[in-house]
Amino acid sequence: MILPEKLKKGDKIGVVAPAGIVREKDLEDLNNSITLMEASGFEIEFGKHVFNASLGYSNSGKEKAEDINNMFRNPEIKAIFAVAGGADSNSTFEYLDYELIKNNPKILCGFSDITSITNIITERTGLITYSGATFKALTSWETSYGYEQVIKRFVKGSKKLREPDDEFVVIKEGYAEGELIGGNLSRIASLSSGKYSVNFENKILFIEELYFESPATEVNYNLYRMRQNGAFDNLKGIWVGNYEGEEALEKILLDVIGNDANIPIIKSNNFGHVDKKMVIPIGGMARINTSSEDVIELI
């Protein structure tokens, strides 16, 4: 795996929009995030198409990918953030220059729909990418948790996956080591088959979901889709994040994979569509040990 370099003051951060476009209601949060990151010592550069919508509802996959490729191509850009979540970032897959990305490794971060891009780039290039705050989410939530995690991971090089106030629950006890893979459940399920799929073998899977977009029936559908495509056959462990629905995500999960599944399963409140957004390295090696105080940690 390729680990991108850490950030330092004076570095330039690129912002792209592979999922949703920037709307007028987003501008206050974006300006706040610009102010925050500039005060932290960084320069900000937006992609050519971030504030456009050539198709009306969004930009084309080719235009979105062009911005991503250009950010990786530009030697002045040291990290790339998705501006926000949204939908259809998979439209970029066939236009991304994976060889360019592999040869110019940089931090790439986002959550929600963005985890389809981050996972496919890690799969195709070996570059460790990150599930974490989008550029908008640096200031659009109630606390500074997401911003603080960005600084701790990308500037200070922290290897923690748990803060003292984070809540963890052990669903199934056990020990496992493996590369991290995952993010938003619906997007990860779509990567379990087809031309643009990822390898789940010997991985630790982390998943979360947004309830009002994916009720229990949709969660069940996506988990069965993964099961039917063999995603759970050789997993090392599962880490469950936020899902505020009528049924607990882990309850649905256990029904799908079976209560006798011989892998550790843990749950936490520090990633997903919630205020707490831990920065999780996709492709990074992690260890689950339900007997330890940290429960999960990077190796």
Look at residue 58 in the predicted model and tell me its pLDDT. 87
Long-range contacts: 212-215, Cβ < 8 Å, 24+?
213/186, 214/185, 214/186, 214/245, 215/245, 215/246
Look at residue 20 in the predicted model and tell me its pLDDT. 79
Instruction: Report CA dihedral (253, 184, 61, 84) to the nearest 10 degrees.
Output: 160
Spatial distance between the Cα atoms of 105 and 167, rounded to a whole number of angstroms: 33
Query: pLDDT tens string for the chain (299 positions)?
Result: 999 999 999 999 999 999 978 888 889 999 999 999 999 999 999 999 999 888 988 899 999 999 999 999 999 999 999 999 989 999 999 999 999 999 999 999 999 999 999 999 999 999 999 999 999 999 999 999 999 999 999 999 999 999 999 999 999 999 999 999 999 999 999 999 999 999 999 999 999 999 988 999 999 999 999 999 999 999 999 999 999 887 899 999 999 998 778 999 999 999 999 999 999 999 999 999 999 999 999 99
Q: Which two tokens stand for residue 250?
A: 């882990």
- What are the CA-CA distances from residue 195 to residues 144, 205, 207, 223, 233 (Å)? 38, 20, 22, 19, 20
Contact 78, 12 (CB under 8 A): yes
Helix or strand or coil: residue 174? coil
CA atoms within 13 Å, Cβ hemisphere of 91: 17
Look at residue 26 in the predicted model and tell me its pLDDT. 86
Fold of 12-154: Rossmann fold (3.40.50)
pTM of the model: 0.96
CATH 3.40.50.10740 domain span(s) along the chain: 12-154
Look at residue 286 in the predicted model and tell me its pLDDT. 98
Right CATH for 168-298 from 3.50.30.60, 1.10.3720.10, 3.30.1490.20, 3.90.1150.10: 3.50.30.60
Look at residue 23 in the predicted model and tell me its pLDDT. 83
Pairing label, strands 175-184, 203-208: parallel
Length of the chain: 299
CATH 3.50.30.60 domain span(s) along the chain: 168-298
DSSP assignment, residue 29?
H
Helix or strand or coil: residue 271? coil
- What are the CA-CA distances from residue 157 to residues 67, 98, 238 (Å)? 27, 25, 24
